[in-house]
Structure 1
């Protein structure tokens, strides 16, 4: 692992997080006073990119993972501010990740990993689609589509990463809801965005597995 690579990735991530706020706001209607703080997203981007570079520096899929993280920051903006995961941004995650992983497959000569990535996307879609169809489910089909898009790079990283990526979002969302309830920020019937938990869980799975 190169300290220079991690530092450069963190700076790139900070820039991506700073830009993510206006990019995300361009996809949804948000009152000016409700815009998320760009500094917070810059910090999140630095951590996300730096963590991926520190743990996945030798993986040829690192550029694809960074691209997914960059678009994910904009998706977090739209979901936090408007409870929406716009299809064009989710499509960019899927397309960018798919193209990046295809290039990584060509570099490694391991087509099996790409096949597992596709299987990961399919399993993620099916699992979250079933959850979304349950009575009183709070998942939307934007969440289902994002889970499928994130299942692609998680599948590339292997079954342990995919399992973590499927489990951790529910843990993160549960903790976040409990904290918000304790702080009086939400009620039991308040809609809470699930996209950031999906993205955070996928990131944790990528850096921990």
Structure 2
């Protein structure tokens, strides 16, 4: 038992360091991708200096964005390492966290979830979990993961058809990836993560209405709440898998 606890603690520390390092490389990509749908990706910083790549610190050496992304990436990585433990799917979660944080940052700024991130996230989740299912001691089901992606993506697509003004099609594409991740641990985890996303987004929207910073029909960036709900669902699902 003590040896297992030591391994888990080491995983948490390594995951936190990994998240801290990767999180500091995301601000440049977030700035470049945070444009309106009909605009090209940014090629220069606000001062007019051309970018030489996608990964790196924020433009013009500002530090607030780098600190925020590094903190979020490190915290989520460490938390999932703590609950998942030494199981192969942990490697999948750690690989998916940076693009998830990047999506949240872009959506918060311009209410957009770019295809260049949502589509690879969904495909990558399916492929990586398929590989994890081949490794001994995994704690989930690849079949359930694929069904979860179809189920949550289909549910969001239905909501999009019913009320196109309430959800964007980027939310539908993101739902496919999140459903795949949540489905790994089964239907209860899928429902928990999806419901948590709606609960977080609804609470935020209601708070804005109460303080009169938005109206009831004003759109909010829903991606960060979908991602936050999926994160909570994964924490609960991974803990439940340990006790199974």
Picking from 187, 191, 196, the partner of 1:168 is: 196
Is the 8 Å Cα contact of residues 11 and 86 (structure 2) preserved in structure 1?
no
Is the 8 Å Cα contact of residues 125 and 144 (structure 1) preserved in structure 2?
yes
1:58 shift after superposition:
2.9
Match of 1:14 in 2: 20
Distance 2:174 2:152 in 1: 9
Distance 1:69 1:127 in 2: 23
TM-score (norm 2): 0.77
1:109 shift after superposition:
8.6
TM-score (norm 1): 0.89
Picking from 184, 187, 192, the partner of 1:156 is: 184
Match of 1:178 in 2: 206
Higher-Rg member (1/2): 2
Unaligned runs of 5+ in 1: none
Match of 2:150 in 1: 122
Match of 1:25 in 2: 31
Picking from 75, 78, 81, the partner of 1:50 is: 78
Distance 2:18 2:213 in 1: 33
Q: How many residues align?
A: 207
Root-mean-square deviation (CA, aligned residues, Å) is 2.4
Match of 1:132 in 2: 160
Is the 8 Å Cα contact of residues 88 and 137 (structure 2) preserved in structure 1?
no
Match of 1:205 in 2: 233
1:86 shift after superposition:
0.6
1:63 shift after superposition:
1.1
Distance 2:90 2:152 in 1: 21
1:18 shift after superposition:
2.4
Distance 1:176 1:198 in 2: 12
Give the 3 Å change call, closer, same or farther, for CA 139–12 of structure 1 in structure 2. same
Match of 1:64 in 2: 92
Distance 1:125 1:27 in 2: 23
Is the 8 Å Cα contact of residues 67 and 97 (structure 1) preserved in structure 2?
no
Is the 8 Å Cα contact of residues 148 and 179 (structure 2) preserved in structure 1?
yes
1:55 shift after superposition:
0.3
Distance 2:209 2:26 in 1: 28
Match of 1:187 in 2: 215
Match of 2:121 in 1: 93
Unaligned runs of 5+ in 2: 36-41, 47-58, 238-244
Match of 2:136 in 1: 108
